[in-house]
Chains A and B, each alone.
Chain A
Amino acid sequence: MIEIDRVSHVFQTSGRQNHLALSEISLTIENGAFVSILGPSGCGKSTLLYIVGGFVSPTKGVAKVRGKAITGPGPDRGPVFQEFALFPWKSVLGNVAYGPRQQGVKHAEAEAQSRRLIEMVGLRGFEHFYPKELSGGMKQRVALARTLAYHPAVLLMDEPFGALDAHTRTRLQNDLLNIWERDRKTVLFVTHSVDEAVFLSDKVVVMTRSPGRIKQVVNINLARPRRRAELLLDPRYQKYVVEIERMIDDTSEDKLQP
């Protein structure tokens, strides 16, 4: 369980001004839930994810994982970034096996595990390719496999499909859901796409424009496993999308704070 308790974050702009990125965020995420954080760009949604990851310390408030305050990054929380952040000097296999090797898994065992994961993300046959030789979608598959390889309890996904074309994006969303259905990890997924958030999530946290506040948390009550083709025709899905889109468009958001 992730508990975010009145977390605020202030950072200094290059003009030496204090900018309030997040204001008094409180949020609880249950184990095994797929939660999206949705908001316009610059609303601090990625910062919130980085705070849970332990990459950024909150200025005020506490974020806890399984009851313990987060003080830094750890293998219980695995990030997947929009920028992929693969190790370019390692092959696909080397990248995926990196985490297990770091955790002391024997070489042969780490490789066997990694090969299974590479197959799971659909990259069988590409084990010895270098990141430079892969397309964006393939890189993000590798990044996902690399993170899954060290078995984090929580996946922290920072607009992971944001840099991909629409077709690749859809394929990766489907594959991510399939993978998630198997082990139901807790997922915190940052996105600015309403469709994506509704399609994937149990819960969509809608944030306001800067300074980021939680505007509303919408529970998505759609059956799983979800199939894209069926969902797009489902009026309930459409209703969620329209409802959330309106929420984001609404400019008088200050009155609507929780």
Chain B
Amino acid sequence: MISGHALISRLAPLLACLGLLGVWQVAALILSTDSFPTALEALRAIPSILGDKESLINILASIRRMAIGFGVAIMVSIPLGLMMGRSRGVASFFNPLLMVTYPVPKAALMPIIMLWLGVGEVAKILVIFLGVSLPVIYHSFQGAKAVEEKMLWSGAAMGLSAMQRMTRIVLPAALPEILTGCRTGLVLALITMVTSEMIARQSGAGNILFNSLDMGQYDTVYAMIIIIGAMGIGLDAAFEKLRSRLVRWSEPGFDIPLSFA
């Protein structure tokens, strides 16, 4: 049996979505301009986009770029962040570089990257890579820095080498923080993915969105925004599920100290 409270809190997100769509519908009906389709019109456009082979290929290409950019970024950023967190030398070398790159919107680098690498896959993947890297490096760095010295000493006494301490103590100990960075990175991957496709229009979800804007197919524009948003929510929810499974041992809800000497 689900109690009344549990039912409400479970239904709340759904109600919020329905509420938003309702407001949208009413606003669109009142304004009734061509460039602002109603919520129903936008929702109705979704099946035709997802049913269209061309669009589907475009969207899958986007997802593929995002996956590659995200994957390569975390493979580079986690080790780098961890090393920065444990070595003052490495940190002081990379810190200035990161501080300079941090405030630059990664999509703003797109024109330069396009000049060098063209408008193809590599340029877009590189931008996604840059977008994902910084939060992952930052959180890995913070996580590694916070690892208790005594924990590393305990490992050293057991005979773990410096490298083993890095992979078998620093990495798992910093994992909750690393995954927080990855979660931010995942959303940023989606954002930079769409922006890069808006700038280097060739294929992808961002391309569909802006092409339909050019052609005045506003219901498709709004439908694409809903699709991209849903992708974001879906990816984030899936990642959160994975994350909470991996770091169950550190979750606050898990914290039930027993009184026993």
Contact = CB atoms under 8 A, between A and B. Distances in A.
Interface of A: 53-55, 72-75, 77-79, 81, 83, 85-90, 98-99, 102-103, 129-135, 137-138, 146-147, 150, 152, 167-168, 171-172
16 contacts: A54-B156, A78-B157, A79-B157, A85-B150, A85-B153, A88-B249, A89-B173, A89-B247, A89-B249, A99-B159, A103-B159, A133-B256, A134-B260, A137-B260, A147-B154, A167-B261
Given A75-B158, A103-B159, A171 B261 contact: yes
Contact of A87 (B157, B169, B247): B169
Contacts of B247: 89
B159 A135 contact: no
B257 interface: yes
A135 B173 contact: no
B153 A73 contact: yes
Given A53-B157, A132-B254, A88 B173 contact: yes
B250 interface: yes
Contacts, number: 91
Interface in B202-261: 247, 249-250, 254-261
Interface string B135-160: 00000000000001011011011111
B156 A73 contact: yes
A202 B180 CA distance: 50
Given A55-B156, A73-B156, A132 B260 contact: no
A108 to B, nearest CB: 19
Contacts of B249: 88-90, 130-132
A240 B25 CA distance: 86
A166 B256 CA distance: 22
A81, A103, A152: which has the most chain B beta carbons within 10 Å? A81
B261 A83 contact: no
Interface in B165-188: 169, 172-173, 175
B261 A138 contact: yes
Contact of A55 (B153, B158, B159, B256): B153
Given A132-B249, A133-B256, A135-B258, A89 B154 contact: no
B172 A89 contact: yes
Contacts of A168: 261
Nearest to A78: B157
